[in-house]
Amino acid sequence: MDVDPRQYEHIAINDNDIHNIVLSYLVHNCYKETVDSFISCTGMKQPANCLEDMEMRKRILHFALEGNALKAIELTEELAQDLLEKNKDLHFDLLSLHFVELVCSRKCTEALEFAQTKLTPFGKVQKYVEKLEDFMALLAYEEPEKSPMFHLLSLEYRQHVADNLNRAILAHAERPRYAAMERLIQQTTAVRQCLSQELGKDVHPPFSLKDFMKS
């Protein structure tokens, strides 16, 4: 499609805005060293506080991604005491990561005990019951990778839980849950899709971010 390229020229962009966008992305993902060099390169004023928790957050997320959920939980409790209490879903997801670890290392007895003590209390609430059953089903298979629930063992799942944990920690520290860049991209895509729909499907091909970036 596209907007006439000349129209872009009429829009002025503030360098500071761009710097902030990039910085927020780096902070969100805990790229500490990059943050340091970016700040010094651009000569930005270092925003207060943003570096403090980053180190801790980075470690927590790292443990979560590895599958060492217990450590992640421990550090999270240190960082933000009531965070997990307020985010029961997240707490359950983290505990389940540990359970999955135990199952994958074929420690059945431990896994069973852990499930009985830590996970089943969640089962009193209806919405956790199905999730709980999904995880328990893993116990039935000698090769959980080949079971119907194999997706629970995947990196994608751990990434998903880590992302949620990240957002929860940020929210707890009253920072934005989403990096500005993420939001901008989402905004662009959503708006373009709306426009395409309004103008009618036949008029233009649906918006593709990838193509747009290339052009």
Partner 1 sequence: MGGVEDDEPASKRMKLSSVELRGLSNGSAFREPVAGSLRDLMARPLPSEGDEDVIGPAGVIKRVEFVRIIAKALYSLGYTKSGAHLEEESGIPLHSSMVNLFTQQILDGHWDESLATLSKIGLVDESVIKSASFLILEQKFFELLDAEKVMDALKTLRTEIAPLCIKNSRVRELSSCIVSPPKCVVVCSPKQDIVRAKSRPKLLEELQKLLPPTIMIPERRLEHLVEQALVLQREACMFHNSSDRDMSLYTDHQCGRDQIPSRTLQILQGHTDEVWFLQFSHNGKYLASSSNDRSAIIWEVDLNGGVTLKHKLSGHQKPVSCVSWSSDDQQLLTCGVEEAVRRWDVSSGNCLHVYEKAGLGLVSCGWHPDRKWIFSGANDKSICMWELGGKELECWKGQRTLKISDLEVTSDGKQIITMCKESALLLLDREAKVERYIEEDQTITSFSLSRDNKFLLVNLLNQEIHLWNIEGEVKLVAKYKGHKRSRFVIRSCFGGLEQAFIASGSEDSQVYIWHRASCDLIGALPGHSGAVNCVSWNPANPHMLASASDDRTIRIWGLKDLNVKRKDCHSNGVHYCNGGT
Give the binding site for partner 1 (CB under 8 A): 108-109, 112, 115-116, 119-121, 123-124, 126, 129, 132-134, 136-142, 147-148
**Quick one: 121 or 205, whose CB is closer to partner 1?**
121
**Quick one: 148 or 205, whose CB is closer to partner 1?**
148
**Quick one: 116 or 154, whose CB is closer to partner 1?**
116
Rounded least distance, CB 111 to partner 1, Å: 10
Rounded least distance, CB 110 to partner 1, Å: 12
Distance between start and end Cα atoms, the chain: 11
**Quick one: 124 or 210, whose CB is closer to partner 1?**
124
Rounded least distance, CB 194 to partner 1, Å: 41
Rounded least distance, CB 61 to partner 1, Å: 29
Following DSSP, what letter does each residue of 149-200 receive, concatenated?
TGGGGSHHHHHHHHHHHHHHHHHHTT--SS-HHHHHHHHHHHHHHHHHHHH-
Cα torsion for 103, 106, 107, 108, to the nearest 10°? 70
Is 99:114 a contact under the CB 8 Å cutoff?
Answer: yes
Is 136:112 a contact under the CB 8 Å cutoff?
Answer: no
